[in-house]
Every structure is written in C-alpha cells, then in structure tokens.
Structure 1
C-alpha cells in the first residue's frame, strides 16, 4: 500500500517547485542532443537542472489518421487503455504505484501522433521505480476486457455530449467536409458504430503494429546527465521490438470549388467555421503564414478579424483564425459565433476581411506589432520542462532541424510584409473554402 502521508508531501513539493520562476535563456535555446537506439527509436534530450524533475514523452506515429476506415476512434481507445493493465498489474496497481512515487502518467492522441508521458522527481529512489513502471506500460499493456467495456462506455457518453454542442458538431463537420476520404477526416473520438465494433484484438493489433522502435521517438527533458539519459532511454523503450515505420499517409488534395454545409441546431447563436487545407510542418512558407495569421485572426482582440467583426460592428463575441500544421497539410481554420439574425452579415464581413488581407497584406504597423508580441511571448513557450518536452516532441516527430528553437525568433523578425502578401496570395483562396454553419434559422 502506498504511504499517503508521503504522497501528500511529495505532491505539495512538486506543486511548490512548479511555481518557482523558471525561465531558460531562450536567446540561445535549449541544447538538444540526439541519438538513435539499436531498435530504431530516435532519442532527443535536453539537460536542465533548475528543478529536480524529469519529463519523458514517448511519441508514436499512431494518431487518428492510422485508424482503419471502419474503426474510427481505435487510436484514442488504444491510448486510453495503456494504463488499464500491464503484465500482472491492474489499473489500480498502476495508479497507486504512480501515486506513491509522486509521479504523473498521461497518454493521448491527435490526428498525427500518439504520446505517452511520465513526469517524476529525479531522485533515484523515486525515479527508478517510476521508470520501470512506465517501461512496463509501454512494453506489456494487457488491455483487459472489462476495462475496454468501461472505456468504450465513456467514449460513447462523450460522443452523446458532443451531439449537444454546436461547436463540436461544427468542428467535426468541418473536418469531414474539408478532408473527405483522407485519413485526417477521421474524428479522433470515432463514431458510435465504430466504437461499438472495436474489439480487444483490434487494440492488440494496433499496439503491435505501431508501438515499435522504428515508429517511435523518445523525448527526455530535465535533471539528468547525458550518460543518465542514455541509460533511461534504453531502460524505458530500448526493449521494444524494432518493427517497421508506418507507411506515409496520402497527400491532401487542394479544394477546387467552395463547399458549404449547414446543420440545423436549436440555439440562438450560429457557429460558423470556414477554411481550407493550410500548411504542413516544415512548410517553406511557415513563418510568413504564421506571422500573417497573427495579424489576420490569431492575435486576439488586436487582430483584423476581431477589430472589424467584433469591435467595430459587434457581430460576434469571438472570432479567430489559425493554421494547424500537420505532417500533411493541416487546416486553416476561421471561426466565429454570432446571433442567428446576424449570420449572413457576419459571414459576409469575415469573407471580405479575409479577401482584403490576401489581396493587400498587412501594414508595416501591424507587422511590427505582431513581431513584438510573438517574440515577446516566445519565452513562455519554454518556461517549464513540460513545455520544452512538447516542443521537442514536435521537432522530433516532424523532423524539424535541431536549431528550430534557436532560429525561431530570428525567423520571425526576418518576415517582411511582401513575404506575407506573397504567401497568402499563393496559399489562401477565399473563393474556394469549406464553410460549415451550425445553428437555427433567422
């Protein structure tokens, strides 16, 4: 049985440490060290000693885009089941052991990747058993039948809840309309029929296919030396079978005509999402599109969309835009909520603002303000081991250069208004977007 007095103390200590000011020197960026294990796992390590903690993230090319067509939701369910049992350990065993060590475990998926996380104090008396438990979960999940039924039921309840949310309905419809038969159209949560069809054999097949060395990356950040990190990597993931890397997913096709989908929903507000395939990670136009989008709709209340739609005309409380770069072209998303009676007026204005920005680009004043805000906020993206690990996982999975974090601020500062105009004219097509409207009639 765990010592709950010790556990309470450890948790309090961890929370206290997490609130200590910890801002690395991002002018030079964290030093990233990289190597490959014999089974093919690519390891990325950043050594930091500000806190006596270690953050580990295992990344697999096993996101929702890997779901079979009739098994949508399989990747997420597999991820959710990892800590439901491992070897001879039950879910309660796993939870109580992590609790007793003051360690935290987590797992999740998006459309591209599956991630499995461990956060632990670096004291070997606590770290060693946490690493052993983490390793066991990665190498020998048991996927108990009873746990599958419980997790399936929870997933079905979540789907029912989403059916009552106009925002969730709009988001799912947008991805279906935008990506069609491409794997990115799969809702990571799945659907009712696919979730009911998933079996324990499906989970085991998914795990055996994708949770292998050649399909994995490991990120280690925190209070360890390079020598220790090498041992940790071998310990937690070096024993996985080599296997094979997942086959490349298809390219995303560009839209050749506008599409509109309207879904009736009994509400006084209409939810609108419009967009198109945007950019991939490592895209040559990434920085001009990133800065340009901040000006268009990513900069909150100071963005063009917010100023024109919300501040000047009061047509929406919230209006925004963002690029979500993925392995293949992720979406450009523009979204807003507005009163049903103002729907057409608001949508027309949003399209006008987008078209004007694509045609003319930003002013120098907007560009300078955007650069100042982006570069000024960059240190907050690296102010904890967890955030460094998240950034490192992106660098690892998408094959970005090891200097990516060093280069980020100089690349932002080098963006010109002309580069933004050119990138948006070539890549953003206001007359060929998907539009999804969820809400009541006028």
Structure 2
C-alpha cells in the first residue's frame, strides 16, 4: 500500500473517530430496510441510514449467538468464541480468489472483485496470525472488532469510504467472520488470562453482589448464569467451532449501516461482508435456532445476606422486568426516570441521599432484552447504614407503585428526556447504536422520529398502570453484601 495514502487515511480516520453531527436532531431520520436478495448474504436483514456529510461508514453485524445460548457448563462460550475470532484467520480454500467472487456476487464498491480479493497481502487467502491481522487493520486505517452480550454477538466495522480502502476492509472483515483459525496456543493463553481476571474480579464486592443478585432474579434461566473458572476450563476449540458454525449463517445476520453510502452501495457492501458465510439454498428458509425459554416471574420474595469485609455495603433490590418490545416501554422509561433513573432529580436520590445522607449514589433501572430483563434498585452505603438505606428504598418503591408520579414530576421528566434526545443521535457512532437497537428488537422504522412524541404522550395513569403490570413489591429479591 502507498505509504502516503496509508498515512493520510489513518490520520483522517483518527480525526473523525467520534463521528460528526448528523444535522438537526429535529429533522427526520429516514431508515431504509430490506432483505438481502439472492447471492452472497442472501436473507440477511439490512437497515441503512444515509449520512453523506463525512466520507466514512459504520457497519454493525449482529447474530443470535450471545451468552443466553451458552450451555450451562460452558458459560462464557460466546465471549470466548468472539474473542478468538479476532486472533487470526486460516488459509482459505478459494471462496474468494483472483478469479472473482462466488457465483451471484456483485462487484464491491468502486472497483472489481479481483482487486478486493488480492489487496490484503500478496494473497487474500493466506493465513494471518493475530499480529499479522492487527497489522493488516492498521495498514487499512480501519477498525473491526467483535463484542458479545447476553442476547447477541456483534462485529463492528468503521472505515473511510475511499473505494480502495473500503474494498479491502470489507474483504478482510469477511475473512474474520467466516475463517477464524482458532489457534490452540492462543486459546490456552487467553483462557488463563480470562480465568485470572475472573478470580481478581471476585475479590471485588460489587462483582460478588451483582452475580448473586442475577442468580436470585433469574434462577435457572440463562440470563442468570455466569462464567466461572470451571466453565472456562470446559470450553474447547471444538466447542467454539461448533458455536461458530451454528451462529454465523448469512441469513441470520442483522446488518446496520450508517454513513456515506447509498442503498445500492450498502447492498453491495453487505454482500461482500457476508460472502464467505454459509447461506441457505432458499432465502425464505433460514434454519431456526432452538427456542430459549422465557424468564419466569418470581412467586415470592427472597432476602440474601452475604458476609463480606468491605468499606461499603452493596445493596440490590429487584425482580424480572420486561422485554424490549413491550408496549409499556415508554411509560416504564419515563416512570423510572422519576423513580431512580434521573440522577439527582429522582425520588430515590431525594429520599435516600439528600434527606437522610444514607448513600452517595442510588439508582433504579430496567434492563430489557429479547427476554424479560431485570428491574433493579442499587446503592452503596456504610455497612452500619445498610438496613436503614434498604428500608427507605423499599418504602419509596412501594409508595411509587401505589401512587405513581405527580404531574409536576412527570412534566419535569418529559422536559429532561425530550431536551436531551438530541444528544442520543448527534454522531454516526450514536446513530449506529440506535439503528442496531431497532434492528435487534424489530422496532418500527420511525422509532427515532417518533421517540419524543411517544415520551410526550405518557400520562401519570399510564405510568401507574405499567408499573402495576410489571412489578410486585411483595415479590422482590433483596441482596445485601457486607451489611451489619
């Protein structure tokens, strides 16, 4: 690669890392959506926001392969597999070659498939270890990496839209997605590192309390399981390969794109990114994954006290909450802002911190997902104040569930949420996060345009009814670690 071209690309990309403003937050944000047609990547679902002001593109590729699908005795498999996918690519057998793309593939952006196939190193099918792979990304001035959550696995690409750079970045990303080399020595090293980090984390009171709380709220559901030293020891490279094979099918991909590309270019970019993944013969027949059970509601309260020698006691109160696509979402979001999500203007902060000085920070939040996530109240306090702080937090919650907010509280919450909405979408990086959220939960395409309207429609009665449907004060889990 020409060194001057490489230096220019890297500097420009670094200057734009945070993304630039996408224009007035009040303007409409048109979202395009389609199913990738026959050919490479067929069956993938694609969402696009065109943002032509800056010559960059952000892509998020997501697959249903997160931690909730980990076998109980191999908790951490998705995390380990995602990590190891970035540790090298094997020598490929010709899915893409100098002869051109697979049958049915379109040429990549701004040039031929031949150039894209041969531009990373002397041979685009050559093996690359973790160091060579890192150098290849540095040479391109692009970024690509994986992440895993409980619900899904995602890979993010950020690149300039210069045709030559983007072709090569997409070709390299396609290899990482489809052709990890699974080096055994690297996994041995990484497993030891993960186990050491896990053991260190379990010396911290917040980690111990949080893990106990998750188990108590979710029970046997996968949302409640956590990686352990033992589960890591059970994970083999064969487990990762099997996980990869069942997860990474082109028809299962949800692809979110924000940047200086139009629909035709985005379709071609998607095809190139997914070209090496297996695809179903019939685009309407994508093999389904086994169903994951729903979270069971609690049938009684639970109170767990954990001895721990720490300067601060950790307190959690909560229960299962709701799924992200629940119609009560906006009422619960606005209501929780008033209860404990609004920082210094919330009821919990007023009663626990300001009036009584029992905690520096106290909060509440819903954490919805593909299944019912948790509703949680959390705080830290001196061990000798834990019982007093717990009593006040419970009283605030019980009163809120019965009475709901006041009209004045609701008006202030709406003003803060609506006034801050522009900061949620003021860069391409934030837009891609929002777009991926829409894709993951099949939210309406006008979700961002109608967000402030939906918030503004919420009434006191809506909040009271939504909280009554979701929460039971007499069926809460309480975890206190380090109290007296």
| Match in the other structure for 1:293 | 336
1:268–1:287 Cα change, 3 Å: same
Indicate yes or no: 2:465 matched with 1:428.
Answer: no
Residue in 2 aligned with 1:315? 358
Task: Give the number of equivalent residue pairs.
Answer: 438
Aligned to 2:243: 206
Tell me which residue corresponds to 2:171: 132
Q: 2:133 aligns with which of 69, 87, 94?
A: 94
The one-character-per-residue Cα deviations of 1:138-177 (angstroms, maximum 9, x if unpaired) are 1111111111112211211221121111111111111111
TM-aligned CA distance change 1:253 to 1:19, over 3 Å: closer
Q: Structure 1 residue 74 and structure 2 residue 102: aligned?
A: no
Partner of residue 245, structure 1: 288
Match of 2:347 among 301, 304, 322: 304
Q: Does 1:84 align with 2:115?
A: no
The 3 A distance-change label for structure 1 pair 86 and 358 is: same
1:20-39 alignment, distance < 5 Å: 22-37=21-36, 38=38, 39=42
Q: Does 1:236 align with 2:279?
A: no
Mapped partners of 1:213, 1:372: distance in 2: 43
Superposition map of 1:150-229 within 5 A: 150-187=189-226, 190-229=227-266
Return the alpha-carbon distance in structure 1 between the equivalents of residues 185 and 204 of structure 2: 30
| 3-state DSSP of counterpart to 1:250 | coil
Match of 2:296, SS state, is coil
- Check whether the contact 2:63–2:252 (CA below 8 A) recurs between aligned residues: yes
Match of 2:427 among 371, 384, 393: 384
Equivalence for 2:187: 148
| Unaligned ranges ≥5, structure 2 | 91-126, 281-286
1:52 aligns with 2:55: yes
Taking a change above 3 Å as real, the CA distance of residues 80 and 330 of structure 1, as seen in their structure-2 partners, is: same
What is the SS of the residue equivalent to 1:116?
Answer: strand
Residues 346 and 7 of structure 1, relative CA distance in 2, 3 Å threshold: farther
Relative to structure 1, the CA distance from residue 186 to residue 29 in structure 2 (aligned partners, 3 Å threshold; closer, same or farther) is farther
TM-score by length of 1: 0.95
Deviation at 1:8, TM superposition (A): 5.8
Q: Deviations over 1:106-141 (max 9, x none)?
A: 211111011111111111121111111001111111
> Partner of 1:359 in structure 2?
402
Gaps of 5+ in 1: none
Select 2:369's aligned residue among 326, 333, 337.
326
The secondary structure found in structure 2 opposite 1:70 is helix
Bigger Cα displacement from structure 2, 152-161 vs 312-321 = 152-161
> Once the 2 structures are TM-superposed, how far is the Cα of residue 7 of structure 1 from its aligned partner?
5.6
Deviation per CA, 1:198-225: give whole Å up to 9, x if none.
Answer: 1110000000011112322111110112
The equivalent residue for 2:66 is: 63
**Aligned equivalents of 2:442, 2:215: Cα separation in 1:** 28
Q: Tell me the distance in 2 between the aligned counterparts of 1:113 and 1:347.
A: 34
Distance in structure 1 (CA, Å) of the matches to 2:477 and 2:88: 43
Q: What is the root-mean-square deviation in Å for CA atoms of aligned residues?
A: 1.7
Q: Does 1:109 align with 2:112?
A: no
Q: Which moved more, 1:211-220 or 1:298-307?
A: 211-220
Are 1:41 and 2:41 an aligned pair? no
Give yes or no for contact 1:41–1:238 (8 Å, CA) kept in 2.
Answer: no
Structure 2 vs 1, CA of residues 129 and 196 (structure 1 numbering), >3 Å: closer, same or farther? same
- Is residue 2–residue 96 contact of structure 1 (8 Å, CA) maintained in 2? no
The Cα offsets for residues 180-238 of structure 1, whole Å up to 9 and x where unpaired, read as 11111122xx1110101111100000000111123221111101121111100100014
How far, CA to CA, are the matches of 2:408 and 2:11 in structure 1? 46
Q: Give yes or no for contact 2:312–2:381 (8 Å, CA) kept in 1.
A: yes
Q: TM-score, normalised by structure 2?
A: 0.87
Indicate the residue corresponding to 2:161 in structure 1. Answer: 122
Alignment match, 1:400: 443
Partner of 2:122: none
Say which is worse superposed, 156-165 or 74-83, in terms of deviation: 156-165
What is the deviation of 1:15?
A: 3.4
CA distance in 1, matches of 2:328, 2:275: 37
Contact in 2 for aligned 1:310/1:319 (Cα 8 Å): yes
In 2, Cα distance between equivalents of 1:274 and 1:106 = 35
2:17, 2:322 → 1: CA distance? 35
- Which range moves more in the overlay, 239-248 or 336-345? 239-248
Q: Which moved more, 1:252-261 or 1:211-220?
A: 211-220
Larger radius of gyration: 2
Q: For residues 257-282 of structure 1, give each alpha carbon's deviation from its aligned partner in whole angstroms, at most 9, with x where no partner exists.
A: 00122222111210011111111111
Q: Does structure 1 conserve the Cα–Cα contact (< 8 Å) formed by 2:298 and 2:319?
A: yes
Task: Show the counterpart of 2:457.
Answer: 414
Contact 1:85-1:91 at 8 Å conserved across structures = yes
Query: Contact 2:63/2:254 (CA < 8 Å) preserved in 1?
Result: yes
Give, in whole Å, the separation in 2 of the partners of 1:21 and 1:53.
Answer: 10
Give CA deviations for 1:322-343 in whole Å, capped at 9, x if unaligned. Answer: 1111011010111000000001
Matches of 1:46 and 1:13 in 2, distance apart?
22
1:426 offset after TM fit, Å? 2.1
Deviations 1:232-257 (A, max 9, x none): 01000144213623222111111110
